[in-house]
Each structure stands twice: as structure tokens, then as C-alpha cells.
Amino acid sequence: MRKIIVTEFVTLDGVMQAPGGPTEDTTGGFAYGGWTVPYFDDFSGRVMSEQMSKPFHLLLGRKTFEIFASYWPQHEDQWPGINDAVKYVVSNTIVAHDWKNSVFIKGGAVEEINRLKKEDGSDIKVWGSGNLVQTLLKNDLVDELWLKIFPITLGTGKRLFGEGTIPAAFRLVDSKVSPSGVIIANYMRAGDVQTGSFA
């Protein structure tokens, strides 16, 4: 049984759109692309290197796959293993690509992802892929959330938790704070939401 680990950069108000650069995703007229860049430091770099070094396969939406495929094949020195990892891509428009080990899922994505989870092998990590993440959250397919929470609000943009996210409890399993104020928090799925009363 493999875990699906959603790894995201997110603002205090939940925005996850275009963290890496101005042209990464301008959907909806989004004007704040690259909002993570001023907060990156050596501490954040070490955390990212550690998380990227663990054995993994990837599960990506089409847009994130296209961004990755345009960069990572030529920069494997920055992310060892990225070219050898299996890249599962949920897309209704792309069915093949020359980036090796790219496997395309077209239609029936929830069923196929459930099947992949039941296989033996490395955990499956999701980076970016906002629309795909919404599907995963709606169908209780997320085992862990590895979040980098940045000390800004943007007020607009695609959000990590959209309409349709199911009620779910998570347990904090690791946390750190960078010198620039970024909270690195890893959460593990922990059953149903519990309620109570102070009365």
C-alpha cells in the first residue's frame, strides 16, 4: 500500500497558485506569481532537498506536468531521481510525452489512483496540480499533507482547499519554522472529524 503525499506551497489565506514565478499560472488574471521567492533561504533549501531526496513517484495534473517537463529533464542534478521516477499524469488532452517514465491517466482517474495506491512501491507525491488536488481531497485519497505556509495573504487565486473538500482530521507529525517565517508542517490523515462542547 502506497501513500499519496500532497506537497504544496500555500499562503496564510490558502492560495497555492503560481508560487514559483510570474508566468507559471496567470489563470484568472493572477498577478502575484512568484510569491514564495522572497522567503526562500538556506533553511528552506535544506528542507526541500531532504523532502525531494526520498524515494518517490509523482502524480501530476497536466499544467504542472508541462511545467516540470520543460525544466527537470535537463536539471536532474537539482532533483536526483526525477527522471527515473514514474510520472503519473492525469490529463484528457495529453496521451504521450518523451520525458521518460511518463504514464498518462485519461478518464476514470479516481479508480486508477485508488488502484495505484494499493500497489507496492514508493510513495506517490503530488506537487502543485491544483485541480487534481481538489479531486484527491473530495475522494479521501490524501494520506499526508506536506505544507509550506508562507506569511502572506493574497486574497485571490486558486486555493488548496476548495468546495467539495470532505471533512477530515489530520495529525501534525513534523513542523519547523524558517528564519523568514515559513511554517513547514507535515500532517498525516487521522480519521474522522471529532466534535465536542465547552458547555
Percent of the chain with pLDDT over 90: 81
The answer to whether the CB of 29 falls within 8 A of the CB of 154 is no
For the stretch 14-40, pLDDT in tens is 999 999 999 999 999 999 999 999 999
Q: Give me the mean pLDDT over the 94-107 stretch.
A: 91
Judged against a pLDDT cut of 90, whether residue 95 lies above it is answered with no
| Residue 183 CA: distances (Å) to CA of 104, 171, 187 | 33, 16, 12
Interatomic CA distance for residues 164 and 142, integer angstroms: 14
Q: Residue 184 — very low, low, confident or very high, per pLDDT cuts 50/70/90?
A: very high
Query: How, if at all, do strands 144-150 and 170-177 pair?
Result: unpaired
Q: DSSP states of 111-176 as a string? A: HHHHHHHHSSSS-EEEES-HHHHHHHHHTT---EEEEEEES---SSS-BSS-TTPPP--EEEEEEE
pLDDT of residue 22: 94
Question: For the chain, what percentages of helix, strand and coil (3-state, to nearest 5) are there?
Answer: 25, 25, 50
Query: How, if at all, do strands 170-177 and 183-189 pair?
Result: antiparallel
State the residue for C-alpha cell 533553511. Answer: 43
pLDDT of residue 117: 94
For the stretch 116-149, pLDDT in tens is 999 999 999 999 998 999 999 999 999 999 999 9
Q: Residue 77 — very low, low, confident or very high, per pLDDT cuts 50/70/90?
A: confident
Q: At what angle do helices 130-138 and 109-118 cross, to 10 degrees?
A: 70
pLDDT of residue 163: 87
Q: Residue 49 — very low, low, confident or very high, per pLDDT cuts 50/70/90?
A: confident
Q: Give me the mean pLDDT over the 53-69 stretch.
A: 91
Higher pLDDT, 185 or 1: 185
Question: Residue 28, SS3?
Answer: helix
Sheet holding 4-11, edge to edge: 102-105, 87-90, 57-61, 124-127, 4-11, 144-150, 183-189, 170-177
Interatomic CA distance for residues 37 and 21, integer angstroms: 8
